[in-house]
Structures are given as C-alpha cells and as structure tokens.
Amino acid sequence: MEDVWTEAELIEAYPLGSVFVQVDDDVEPMPEAEWETWIAGQVGMPKHPVGAVEG
C-alpha cells in the first residue's frame, strides 16, 4: 500500500508560519489562505514520489 501524507501529518510537520515562499531575495511566510491550499494539495501525495524510488 502506498505511503501517503495525511492532513494531520502535514499540519504537524509544516504548521502555519513555518512555510515560506521566495521571490529573488525576499523570503516571506506563506499567507494563511495559501498555506491552507498548499496543505490540502499535499494530502494524499506519496511520501516517496517518482524521484524517490528506493532500490
């Protein structure tokens, strides 16, 4: 069974304020609405994506 991220795991690993976006030299915390969308988009994503195949 594929190992995927759950919402609880993601919120624990990446709480609001701990995730940033960068434009050139400016690094800003991800706004709350954007963070919620980002967390939702990560739910169900494999913990070992295509580039993470373990031999």
Partner 1 sequence: MAGTTTKMGIQYPTGTDYVKDGATAMQTLATNVDNKSGLVFIKSQAVGAGVTTVTVNAAFSTNFDNYRIIYMGGSASTFSDLWLRLGVTATGYYMGGSFTAYNAGAVTAVSTGLAAQWTYSGIGDPAGNALSVDVFQPYLADQSGIASSFFSLGNTRVGGAVYGVLNNTTSYTAFTILASAGTITGGTIRVYGYNQ
Of the pair 2, 22, the CB lying nearest partner 1 is at 22
- Cα 46 to Cα 30, 41, 42: the distances in Å are 22, 12, 9
The binding site for partner 1 (CB under 8 A) comprises 5, 13-14, 18-25, 27, 30, 38, 42, 45, 47-55
In angstroms, give the least distance from the CB of 15 to partner 1: 11
In angstroms, give the least distance from the CB of 37 to partner 1: 11
